[in-house]
Structure 1
Amino acid sequence: MEYLSLVALALSAVALVLTLQARRTTALRGGSVDAVPEDVHGLRQEVAALRREGADALRHLAVVRYDAFDDMGGHLSWSVALLDDAGDGVVLTSIHGRSDARTYAKSVTGWVSEQQLSPQEAEAIQRAKP
């Protein structure tokens, strides 16, 4: 049951970060999505600003499900990569056993982790690459 709490906490943190980024973006744009420039030059600047802001968003996602142990089926273990355009973010892994589940988080910078990755974690990062 503890692993569910950890997963829920991690996903809540991701949702909070995304919500704060959305609020910041709205505030930077004058607080309204209706304030779109009518001239083409202003529109191009707005698109460029949105692209810069979107580069920090965790938009590259991949999930790898697998059986961590030979005597268990159902692909109950999983690794998920949550990365931005630069390949920075996190890989979350849950290893499901008969009597418990363990959850791990490893940081990723530039599509690489300083911590040793399992083959499934490395695969999740590769799948998340654009």
Structure 2
Amino acid sequence: MIVVAALALVIAAAALVLAVVGLRRTAPGKRPTADALPEDVHGLRQEVAALKAEAVDALRHLSVVRYDAFGDVGGHLSWSVALLDDAGHGVVLTSIHGRSEARTYAKSITGWTCEQQLSPEEEEAIAHARP
């Protein structure tokens, strides 16, 4: 759904850019007024505005931090990933890889902060995801 919305946003934005370029190439005395614009331009503007409003809740900001959780295990097999929307709401997922097991954790993020204590790597992932 998000991919379709993003694709529609790109197509609508491209059409709007083409319309603006066409208007700029028109001689200044012959340029149409805002009332005289083709109906499809008004529709495209409304569609772009709707897509922007819909995309606000999309998990668009992400960052991955890889690291060695333990001194005796190498290869940066542990990781933390932050998946957040524009307001900083989302989740941070962490997988800690040890010699004999791996554990995975999920922590809810609200407004770029978490009620639970975050590891330095989780904080780094959130910081890198923040625009």
Matches within 5 A, 1:1-130: 19=1, 39-130=40-131
TM-superposed deviation, 1:41:
1.9
| Distance (Å, rounded) in 2 between the aligned partners of 1:93 and 1:51 | 30
TM-superposed deviation, 1:22:
5.9
- Listed as ranges, the gaps of 5+ residues in structure 2 are 16-37
State the structure with more CA Rg: 2
User: Which residue is 1:11 aligned to?
Assistant: none
Report the TM-score, using the length of structure 1 for normalisation.
Answer: 0.72
SS at match of 1:39: helix
TM-superposed deviation, 1:38:
5.3
SS at match of 2:81: strand
| Distance (Å, rounded) in 2 between the aligned partners of 1:51 and 1:126 | 24
Output the amino acid matched with 2:114.
S
| Distance (Å, rounded) in 2 between the aligned partners of 1:22 and 1:87 | 20
User: Which residue is 1:13 aligned to?
Assistant: none
SS at match of 2:54: helix
| Distance (Å, rounded) in 1 between the aligned partners of 2:121 and 2:3 | 31
SS at match of 1:90: strand
| Distance (Å, rounded) in 2 between the aligned partners of 1:93 and 1:70 | 18
TM-superposed deviation, 1:45:
1.1
Work out the number of aligned pairs and report it.
Answer: 103
| Distance (Å, rounded) in 2 between the aligned partners of 1:124 and 1:64 | 6
Q: Percent identity?
A: 75
| Distance (Å, rounded) in 2 between the aligned partners of 1:53 and 1:22 | 12
Report the TM-score, using the length of structure 2 for normalisation.
Answer: 0.71
Give the superposed CA RMSD: 2.3
SS at match of 2:96: strand
TM-superposed deviation, 1:71:
1.3
TM-superposed deviation, 1:39:
2.3
TM-superposed deviation, 1:105:
0.1
